[in-house]
A and B are shown apart, each in its own frame.
Chain A
Amino acid sequence: MTEAISWTNSTRKLSELIPWPINPAQIGKDEAKRLEESLAEFGQIQTIAVSPTNEILDGHQRQIVWGASRKFGMGYEVDVRVSSRELTEQERKKLVIYLRKGTVGAFDWDILANNFEIPDLLEWGFRPFELGLNSDGNDPNEEWKGMPEFGNEDLSPLKQIKVSFKSIEDMNNFSKLIGQIVTENTRSIWYPKAEQNDDGDEVYHGNT
Chain B
Amino acid sequence: MMMGMKFIMVILKYPVYIISKGRWESRLTSKVFENIGVPYQIVIEPQEFDNYASVIDPNKILVLPFSNLGLGSIPARNWIWEYSISIGAERHWILDDNIYTFWRWNRNSKVKVDSGAIFTAMEDFIDRYKNIAIGGPNYYMFVKSKYKDNPFRMNTRIYSCILIKNDIPYRWRGRYNEDTDLSLRVLKDGWCTILFQTFLAKKARTMTVKGGNTEDLYKLDGQKDGRLLMAQSLQRQHPDVVKITRKWGRWQHQVDYRPFKGNKLIKKEGVVIPEGVNNYGMVLVNRKEESTHAPDPTTQPEA
Contact = CB atoms under 8 A, between A and B. Distances in A.
Interface of A: 129, 132, 134-136, 138, 140-141, 143-157, 194, 197-208
Contacts of B288: 201
Interface stretch (B57-65, B72-80, B84-92, B150-158): B150-158
B239 interface: no
Given A147-B125, A148-B277, A199 B110 contact: yes
Contacts of A201: 286-288
Given A204-B114, A204-B282, A155 B287 contact: no
Interface residues of B, number: 65
Q: Which of A129, A138, A152, A200 has the most CB of B within 10 A?
A: A152
B150 A206 contact: no
A120 B276 CA distance: 30
Instruction: Identify the interface centre among A141, A143, A204: most chain B CB within 10 Å of its CB.
Output: A204
B46 interface: no
Given A135-B262, A149-B279, A204-B112, 17 more contacts: A136-B265, A146-B274, A146-B277, A146-B302, A148-B118, A149-B298, A156-B144, A199-B111, A203-B113, A204-B283, A205-B2, A205-B5, A205-B283, A206-B10, A206-B36, A207-B8, A207-B299
B172 interface: no
Interface string B112-134: 11111110010011000000000
B126 to A, nearest CB: 11
A134 B262 CA distance: 10
B275 A145 contact: yes
Contact of B104 (A134, A140, A148): A148
A70 B10 CA distance: 64
B10 A199 contact: no
Given A203-B112, A205-B5, A207-B283, A134 B147 contact: no
A147 B150 contact: no
A201 B112 CA distance: 9
B262 A136 contact: yes
Nearest to A197: B109
Given A143-B265, A201-B287, A202-B286, A208 B107 contact: no
A120 B105 CA distance: 32
Given A129-B150, A202-B284, A203-B2, A152 B114 contact: no
